Amino acid sequence: MKILSKLRYFNVSLQNRVLCARTGQQPCFRNVQIQMNGLAFRPWINFQNMLFGVLIRGYFQQQFNLKEFMQFSPYALLSILEKLETKKFEELSELVENDCQKSILQNWESLSTTDKMELQKCEATDFYCFQPTLAMKIDVKQESELQAFLAINIKMTRLKHFMDNVQKTAEQVVNSKINVYIANDKLKVPTVYYFSFVREMTKGVDGAWKMVECKDWPKSS
């Protein structure tokens, strides 16, 4: 039961960041417990991801590390935002597939100037990536040669942005220990974004990652 409880909750301690509401009291730390419904235990998906990784590195002889992909995928979002901000829309085709590019441009144009300025403050460390799911498409190219494409579906949320809101809320609480849930009316629920990236993994091919799908992005968190 304790293990399942830890899997259902993402525990974050705010140490020396939250000031007590009582005047004159020294800074203290509060345990802030955030319920993240997306952090589910997925043994089969994790095993499947591992098998695809072994296949890519072994048979197709391509360099691939899922952990590194998770770390660097937020930089793809920052690159797209930079091209949107500087109106270099023609360069988006290097990073984004056509249909996905249309969706991104529509979402960008629907944002207010304030929302766009808020997105310009994004940093890679603001994003928390979770629940990656790998899928492969393998076709016979010619004779016995196989052509392979790897797709990664991933979820991201601006956790730092959410934690800043948690801190502001916690500063208004007098009790020495609080439990804060994302369903709390005082907090703004962190938006979860869904992205899909694809790269050709055929043996001997130096493929590049492209975003092929995004859901409701970009938008203000």
Q: What is the pLDDT of residue 126?
A: 87
In a domain, 220, yes or no: no
Lowest-confidence region among 2-16, 65-79, 115-129: 2-16
* pLDDT tens digits, 154-170: 999 887 666 666 666 65
Q: What is the pLDDT of residue 19?
A: 37
Of the chain, the end-to-end C-alpha distance in Å amounts to 33
Lowest-confidence region among 15-29, 49-63, 177-191: 15-29
Q: Which stretches of 59-97 are DSSP H helices?
A: 66-85
Token pair for 112: 């207010």
Domain count, the chain: 1
In a domain, 16, yes or no: yes
Query: Could you tell me if 129 and 155 are in contact, meaning their C-beta atoms sit under 8 angstroms apart?
Result: yes
* pLDDT tens digits, 40-88: 568 899 999 999 999 999 999 999 999 999 999 999 999 999 999 999 9
In a domain, 219, yes or no: no
Is pLDDT of 145 > 70? yes
Higher pLDDT, 126 or 185: 126
d(CA 165, CA 160): 9
d(CA 147, CA 74): 28
Higher pLDDT, 177 or 119: 119
Within 13 A of 125's CA, how many CA atoms are on the CB side? 1
Query: Could you tell me if 114 and 106 are in contact, meaning their C-beta atoms sit under 8 angstroms apart?
Result: no
* pLDDT tens digits, 200-216: 999 999 999 999 999 88
Range of the domain at 206: 2-214
d(CA 18, CA 120): 26
Token pair for 82: 């930079």
**0.85 exceeded by the pTM?**
no
In a domain, 60, yes or no: yes
At position 154, the amino acid (one-letter code) is: I
In a domain, 221, yes or no: no
Which DSSP state fits 209?
A: -
At position 172, the amino acid (one-letter code) is: Q
In a domain, 72, yes or no: yes
The residues pairing with 35 across neighbouring beta strands, listed in sequence order, are 9
Q: Which of 161, 69, 165 has the alpha carbon at shortest distance from 121?
A: 161
Within 13 A of 19's CA, how many CA atoms are on the CB side? 6
